Structure 1
Amino acid sequence: MCGANPPARFSGAAARQRAAATRQAVRVTGLRRTRYRDLPATRLGHVFAATALNLIRINRWLTGTPLGGTRTSHLEALMLAA
């Protein structure tokens, strides 16, 4: 299937990856709060934000820190505390 539309089985995973990257960028760099109104300055802000995210990822890869872990539920936290 080499048409313009990708197969349906791949579209969900790709959409989740894009959404996760956007959430990380907004959380770490405050990407949605740009103060510039013109397009070149906004693009430059996005480039800086992407560079910052890449540096964070490289640092975590070099130090062996996991990028993201599974969240611990409240019940698990209670069980671990006991």
Structure 2
Amino acid sequence: MSYPGGKGGLFRQLINLIPVHSTYIESHLGHGAVLRHKAPAARSFGVEVDAAVIERWAGASLPGLVSSSKTPPAS
């Protein structure tokens, strides 16, 4: 499934641009291609406003992934 603004086709190139880090923040999570394929950070955050995407990530098990029960307000 494609996602508007998806990074699935570019994640390898993007990962090669990321410097060494202990905290990773993916500000437009979507399917999380970069987050899922890069080396784990001590702490990783995925920011998303789409409730369906948040639901899909609920309970995800990735090393260092920080979870939150907060959902965006209804529009």
Report the TM-score when normalising by structure 1.
0.19
Structure of higher RCO (CA pairs closer than 8 Å, 6+ residues apart): 2
Q: Which has the larger radius of gyration?
A: 1
- The structure with the largest strand share of the pair is 2
